[in-house]
Amino acid sequence: MANHYEAAFILTPVLSDVQMKEAVEKFKVVLTDAGATIENEELWGLRKLAYTIDKKSTGFYVILQFSGEPTLVETLETQFRRDERVIRFLVFRLDKYAYEYASKRIKKNAEQADIKAKANKEAFVDVETENLEEE
């Protein structure tokens, strides 16, 4: 039976956006090749660390939620340890309550993103109509 997991990891701050996304994509490929299904991906961006790690005070935070077999966790952790771009990681299994909470949070965030997108689209349309009226 597939379990639900969450992997949180911090990437070194010296990476460019392209390199950071490339590293995240690498770990997503590791998961999908091992038979996992990725349920959610959150890129928190560059954040200050609570304490310095390897003389670094900031890092790119990434959270991946996925479901799969327990054996793939070991494979993922091995890849985290081998990649020098990862300065910290944590993989844990979500119990049913944590999974329900995470699912609700994902839906709520998606709804808020839709509302913001609609508001931005309406604002863009209003600006376009004003520009046409001025001409």
Instruction: Specify the CATH number for the domain of residue 22.
Output: 3.30.70.60
Average confidence (pLDDT) over 6-18: 93
- Shared domain for 73 and 16, answered yes or no, is yes
| CA–CA dist 1, 104 (Å, integer) | 22
Average confidence (pLDDT) over 77-99: 92
Task: Determine the structural domain holding residue 35 and report its residue range.
Answer: 1-94
**Is the pLDDT confidence value at 126 over 80?**
no
The count of structural domains within the chain is: 2
**Is the pLDDT confidence value at 129 over 60?**
no
- Shared domain for 51 and 64, answered yes or no, is yes
Which CA distances in Å does 45 have to 23, 58, 73, 76? 13, 10, 24, 21
Residue 30 makes CB contacts below 8 A (sequence gap 6+) with 75, 76, 79
Report the range of poorest mean pLDDT among 9-13, 38-42, 52-56, 104-108.
Answer: 104-108
